[in-house]
Amino acid sequence: MQVEEGTNSKLIEMYEAREAILNRINPDAVSMIDIDKFLQAAVNEVGQRLSVDRCNVITPTPDGGFLVSHEYLGDSSLTPGLGLNIPTSLVPTETINQYLPKARHYSIDDVRSANIPLWVRTTLQLIGTRSVLVAPFLFRDELLGIMGLHYCHQPHQWSDTEIKLVEWLAGQVSTGLHYTHLYQEKRRKSN
């Protein structure tokens, strides 16, 4: 009974987080989504609700690398990663583009004991991550970005509820990014 109550409580908290994220977006911005405001609201709200040490959005750069474009830090002792460029020499872009679009999420409960490729372990250790949950932002099979939730001081077993929240949010962000790109392209053609 206690396990069920804890699960229900966590589920309610996740739904509240979803509502809070949607409510932080300007309701007047119907024709054009303020994607920066939406992404920052998402990392702040999810980071706070799940009490993670770090929550970020990483977006592809024109040179094939990645950029930490939005970030929430729940632990002020961590070095901020906002604006950090992740070069192609560190992250094999082909591997990411091959596997992430096929996954709704990817989680590692404990970086130290997980059977993961060396480049994944090295990247996560460089930013001080001990446990991570990532979900891709996709349109068709194009990778538009990645949301990452990080615990830095201890391992964390990701619950189904946490995973479902992040998958739902990744779907919402994917749609928002796609429509924003379409809107910008339409405006560019009309000018």
Span 15-72, pLDDT tens digits: 677 666 655 544 444 445 678 888 999 899 999 989 999 999 999 998 888 999 999 9
d(CA 19, CA 101): 26
Count how many domains the chain has. Answer: 1
For the entire predicted model, the pTM comes to 0.80
For residue 135, what are the domain limits? 2-190
Sign of CA dihedral 160, 161, 164, 170: negative
128-140: b (≥16 Cβ within 10 Å) or e: bbbbbbbbbbbee
Span 91-107, pLDDT tens digits: 787 777 777 767 889 99
What CATH number has the domain bearing residue 150?
3.30.450.40
